[in-house]
Structure 1
């Protein structure tokens, strides 16, 4: 449930572990072919970058955490023009999802397999 001004928003996590969602979701996919980082609803290429990746996981929280980790690395690259984003531990929906047991965001417990 949403906790205003909280660093842990459990809403998404609660949805992920609820019936009928949890039994029916086996694979979660994140499209990182083109990433928009600002500029409102309309697409503007000056507010986008093209990592050209697809991410997939059986753990939706790990997927979000690793997608944010990759985006943070893009932001840290000088010259991209991408503004900094919060660290993974500071993203309320990820922290909340971990809190309710919807998945794991600890990078030391997430196996990454690159497929080409």
Structure 2
């Protein structure tokens, strides 16, 4: 996964010091927190994330009635039957197949 960091962010959080005849970059902190709105992912990367965290995502959706209702509404609008087609596919193969379709385009 490639993460793009704007030069402005680097300028605000890093500096160079001359050691042994060359300038070396330093940063105040090696860890920075970014909000969801500040991150952009390629579709194929999102599929990797969903595959890796699928069980956690399902638990989050099922634990929140608002999210569960939104999922059911989305499935109905796309006329997806949860008991047919890819839902029967075990082991996340449906997601992997979808990722392969996306990356082949």
**TM-score above 0.5:** no
Q: Which entry has the higher C-alpha Rg, 1 or 2?
A: 2
If asked which structure has higher relative contact order (CA below 8 Å, sep 6+), I would say: 1
In the superposition, the TM-score normalised over structure 2's length comes to: 0.22
Question: Which structure has more helix as a fraction of its residues?
Answer: 2
